[in-house]
Amino acid sequence: MRLQTAHQFAPTIAYGDAVGNDCFELQRLYWSRGVRSDLFAAEAKPEVRQFVQPWRDLEKLPTDGTSLQVHISMGNDALWDVAKLPHRKTVIYHNITPAQYFEGLNEHARRYSEIGREQLAEFAKVSELGIADSDYNRKELLRVGFAKTAVVPIIVDWSAFDVEPDPDVLRELSDERTDILAVGQILPQKAVHKVVAAFARYRESDPTARLWLVGSQAMSEGYLAQVRDAIRTHGLDGAVTLTGSVPMPALVAYYQGAAALVTLSEHEGFCVPLLEAMRSGLPVVASDAGAIPDTLGDAGILLSDTAPDVVAAALERAVHDAALRKDLIARGRRHLAEFTPEAVADKLAQALALVDWELPAYRSREVAVVSSERRSGIHHYALAVCDGLRAAGHRATFVGTKHLDAADLATKLRYIAKTTDAVIFEHEAGIFSDIPFVRALVRLRLRGIPAVLSAHEIEPEKFHHYRKLSHALHYRPSYAWYLEWLRALSVALRIGVWFLAYRAILALMGWLPARIVVHSHRSNFWVGLLTRDERKRDLVPLVVMPLEDTVLPANAEEKRALRARLGLPEGAFVFVSPGFFFKRKRYIEVIEALPEDAVLVLSGTESQWERGYVQEVQDAAAGKPNVVINTEYETMGQFVAASDCVVLFYEDVFQSAVVTQAIWAGLPCIFSDTPGFRLYEGAGLVARDTAQLARAMREIRQPEVYARCSSQVGVLRRLLSPERNAMRYLIGL
């Protein structure tokens, strides 16, 4: 059976851990093959909450053509209920750490480790397939009763590592001292205390060496004290650093600056840091335990004996034997070929075939993206979608059409080749008139070309005939009573005609496209006007959109130079609110909330629908030297790139292209509490009124707050990238 949908469930989904990252990368793989894949969880961490649905929503969805893929790495109360769902189920097993490692240290983890193994055995009875990310884990699936098993490695998103390394970390690791690196959570099964003991022995011959223990301590509980005791016992205070969790730029810097990676873990289901070290050109010394031999292959020094003397000798070779280092690094880079997305996709296809699921093959498609020819938000958004499709290997062409011009639309569509695989309409009511647009959909349908309706704003008021209905219902009496009765009959007849036209347009806009995509929960509510077919409709957040003709400053020096060119103070904290001047953006309130020691740039153009608002804003800014009003469209992107924070204190919004540009620029935001911004809230602060706005404009300048928001901006930039999300338009075609 052809796989149409591969939904994934994980008890907890976070960004940055092995299971969460595997969920997102598998999702991306499925999208690239035209397979729908949504994520469901009992708990989604704040940084990914808007990308994950409550698992109970699975009960409402169709099961035909659907594989429910359940990630298991620890016990969870929800797993008992998920096992009872009627879907065809596949387990993706990441290993459960044995309970013995948590005894006396973490009672909750010990208990759910035991429950997890009970649940794994229960899933063996109700699942058609068990997929393990290593052969070590596959053997455990066999032991608990899975009849069919396969190995599909974890996919690592290497684009997350394509960041500038943290300069402070690089600087600290750039001296002549030897830096040994261990990456992973500080947990008992990782045997970090053994790493400390082995490092102490190694340091006898390399007395200035340092050890960096990089990893989360959130679940360490009492084990963290044991590690610190080991550091003190071996006299390593000042030589060993427990960094805790670090952002990606810092992690990349540690991998670049270290001399070797060491892991002496006693139990591993996969061990992603081994792959990270290989990609970073770092020799590896590792214990021969769990899945480490499966993941490491011949790309490191594998030790069956982890006594301090043995490990120290292996580190000595890895650090100082130049020929061996070169050989290990070369082997690591060759071994990485087994973990590319293409290699994993082949193994996944073979695994699913064991239970008669056919994973569609990837194929490059010819796509036309039709939208406004004018320079505007939706125009640039359509170009970003084209770029994303091209990055995913498709051939995408942008077709610009004149606003509300039926003849121009018909002419442009006639030039679209019959061999085109799909036409995507980036649709707003101000671009396409209702009846000509339906006519265009009919013509494409007759030519056998699938259409994708990407509707940016759906609600009754956006449809011409609905507005006529509303106007007719509320007319004011103007004549004698007997004439008003005749008028009412005439209006009733016209209302009947307009109502039929309105409903016909809705029905055709729902039936004719092969797929309907919306970009906000508000539009997702109203898309039910068009269709109730859940397989046809999808909620796809706006992809990240670059600022037009804008090159981001590569460093602080370039940013200062850009500010100097634009006439902005080099050392001030600069807020910016970009886009058309609409009253709903509340620029005057933003001016009033601005701290005296900060600068605000209002950069955009006057709206033809609200003439005069620019003058109102200018009047409000009169006498305020720290408010800059820029109405030149060509420099809007440069002012954003020169700023520190984007302020979006809107009264209301469906979704916002401006916020995607802020994310592209790497800037935290301050949002109003309208639902249209909910997806992005972790990337900034939320203000419900002007008092909270003023407070947020002060708080965002605190270094720890700014760093936290900037980190979430980085997460969103990857999860909303065009190359990841544009593929979703083509699902099911």
State pLDDT tens for residues 446-505: 999 999 999 999 999 999 999 999 999 988 888 888 888 998 999 999 999 999 999 999
Q: Which secondary-structure segment (H or E) carries 244?
A: strand 240-244
C-alpha–C-alpha distance, residues 718 and 714, integer Å: 7
**Residue 346's CB: how many other CB atoms inside 10 A?**
13
pLDDT-based confidence at 167, cuts 50/70/90? Answer: very high
**What kind of fold does domain 556-724 have according to CATH?**
Rossmann fold (3.40.50)
Share of the chain above pLDDT 90, in %: 87
Q: What is the mean pLDDT of residues 387-408?
A: 97
Please state which CATH number belongs to domain 5-151. 3.40.50.2000
CA distances, 331 to each of 179, 369, 724 (Å): 22, 44, 30
Mean pLDDT of the residues in the chain: 95
With 0-12 / 13-18 / 19 or more C-beta atoms within 10 angstroms meaning exposed / middle / buried, residue 343 is middle
pLDDT-based confidence at 278, cuts 50/70/90? Answer: very high
Q: Which DSSP symbol is given to 269?
A: S
- DSSP strand E in 73-138: where? 88-93, 129-132
Q: What torsion, rounded to 10 degrees, do the Cα atoms 160, 17, 645, 549 define? A: 20
Do 494 and 475 touch, CB atoms closer than 8 A?
A: no
Q: What is the mean pLDDT of residues 363-383?
A: 95
Q: Which DSSP symbol is given to 650?
A: -
The 10s digit of each residue's pLDDT in 600-658 is: 999 888 777 778 898 999 999 999 999 999 988 889 999 999 999 999 999 999 889 99
pLDDT-based confidence at 719, cuts 50/70/90? Answer: very high
pLDDT-based confidence at 549, cuts 50/70/90? Answer: confident
| Region(s) of the chain under CATH 3.40.50.2000 | 5-151, 160-320, 556-724
Do 687 and 672 touch, CB atoms closer than 8 A?
A: yes
Is the domain defined by 366-539 classed in CATH 3.50.50.60? no
The top-level CATH class assigned to 160-320 is: alpha beta
Q: Is the dihedral of CA 549, 551, 552, 556 positive or negative?
A: negative
Would you say residue 388 has pLDDT above 80? yes
pLDDT-based confidence at 241, cuts 50/70/90? Answer: very high
Predicted local confidence at residue 531, as pLDDT: 95
pLDDT-based confidence at 681, cuts 50/70/90? Answer: confident
Instruction: List, in order, residues 6 or more apart from 566 with CB less than 8 Å away.
Output: 635, 638, 639, 642
| Region(s) of the chain under CATH 3.40.50.2300 | 366-539
